[in-house]
Amino acid sequence: MPRLALYTFGVLKSPLADPAPLTREFYDIGEAVYRKISQYPGYLARAEAAGGDRGMLFEADWGAWGEFDVPAWYDKGRTVETTALATTLSLWTDLGPAFEAVYSGLHRDALNRRYDWFERTGHPNYVFWWVPDGAIPTWRDGVSRLEHLHGHGSAPHAFTFHHPFTPQGTPVPRTALQAEV
């Protein structure tokens, strides 16, 4: 059975290494959100660097998730001191569990504060796509899907909660998704 891949990407207002209160607050909330999300039914896995160091995104070993990559529009730093982004790559069983995890609890609270921490870029900040059972999406997959979504809108290849698709490429009415939650 196909699985759902989710790639998120946001440009932070300050570098990850910045000791300012907002950056610390984002980190503290982010760590709690990751712990909670990983407990949701339907959550399967997320990309984690082998070393787990904050800010070591570009240099990290991501194993089967591939070499770290970012969208072409990201124009901030790429070193530990200058990187100003937050990104995730995860696997889910289906849209319903992902929707519930994103729009409830701690993640919902963090989502409500996103403009405190993130720049408004005019680009999408997340994308979904279906992967075959057993496949691990890569960072490059996520970036290419997000860029495709930005250029072409939702399609079976790259979509959002607002315009989702089944693994077979059939549009899913948004009301059906909300009814699952």
Give pLDDT, residue 65: 97
CA distance linking residue 86 with residue 92, whole number of Å: 19
CA-based torsion, 117, 91, 161, 66: positive or negative:
positive
Higher pLDDT, residue 19 or 69: 69
Segment 66-94, tens digit of pLDDT? 999 999 999 998 988 899 999 999 999 99
Kindly tell me if the per-residue pLDDT of 180 is higher than 90: no
Q: What's the half-sphere exposure (Cβ side, CA atoms, 13 Å) at 106?
A: 14
Kindly tell me if the per-residue pLDDT of 40 is higher than 90: yes
Higher pLDDT, residue 179 or 111: 111
Give pLDDT, residue 24: 84
Kindly tell me if the per-residue pLDDT of 179 is higher than 60: no
Rounded mean pLDDT, 93-106: 94
Segment 125-155, tens digit of pLDDT? 999 999 999 999 999 999 999 999 999 999 9
Inter-residue contact 137 to 91 (CB < 8 Å): yes
